[in-house]
Amino acid sequence: MTSPSTIVVGYVPTPEGLAAVDYAVGQAQHDGATLVVVNSGHRGNDADPKFADAAEWDALDQRLISLGIAHEMRQSAQALSSAEEILSAATELGADLIVIGLRRRSPVGKLFLGSSSQQVILEADCPVVAVKRPT
């Protein structure tokens, strides 16, 4: 008997973050997977705009409960980067998939993809899906 799969999704309170969660929810529903939502501010800074406030975090948790998705919410105040938090959770849990959101970038910005996204894609031990927000 195989254990249920685990999907780790990096969440930031932006349209890209919501697109990543939506994709991960669809995969979790399809595969019967457990969803692990990871959110952190830059180096654990809870004043960072990437750090979901309590209302956003609770609303996301309630949404997943209402959908009947087995899930865990991880919001770290440690001094790790967002990428390190996502990769650490994926390694710890033996994740089968990581889902992250990508934002649109200028031509120059495309050269660098984004440090967190790039780090996750390059260092993950499992497949990574990068989702753009709907247009």
What H or E segment, with its residue span, contains residue 99? strand 97-102
Q: What integer is the mean pLDDT of 8-21? A: 94
Q: How far apart are CA 51 and CA 129, in angstroms?
A: 21
Number of domains observed in the structure of the chain:
1
Is residue 1 in a domain?
Answer: no
Is residue 25 in a domain?
Answer: yes
User: pTM surpassing 0.85?
Assistant: yes
Banded model confidence at residue 58, pLDDT cuts 50, 70, 90: very high
Are the beta carbons of 99 and 27 closer than 8 angstroms? yes
Is residue 78 in a domain?
Answer: yes
* Torsion (CA) 49, 88, 133, 54 in degrees, nearest 10: -40
Show the domain range for 97: 6-132
Output 96 or 106, whichever has higher pLDDT.
Answer: 96
Q: What integer is the mean pLDDT of 13-40? A: 95
- Can you give the pLDDT at residue 34? 97
Is residue 49 in a domain?
Answer: yes
Output 103 or 129, whichever has higher pLDDT.
Answer: 129
Q: How far apart are CA 103 and CA 114, in angstroms?
A: 9
Is pLDDT of 110 > 70? no
- Can you give the pLDDT at residue 1? 37
Is pLDDT of 2 > 70? no
- Provide the CATH number for the domain around residue 75: 3.40.50.620
Are the beta carbons of 84 and 40 closer than 8 angstroms? no
Could you tell me the CA-to-CA distances from 82 to 12, 32, 66, 98, 134 in Å, in that order? 10, 26, 27, 13, 23
- Can you give the pLDDT at residue 97? 98
End-to-end CA distance of the chain: 41
Banded model confidence at residue 116, pLDDT cuts 50, 70, 90: confident
Is residue 124 in a domain?
Answer: yes
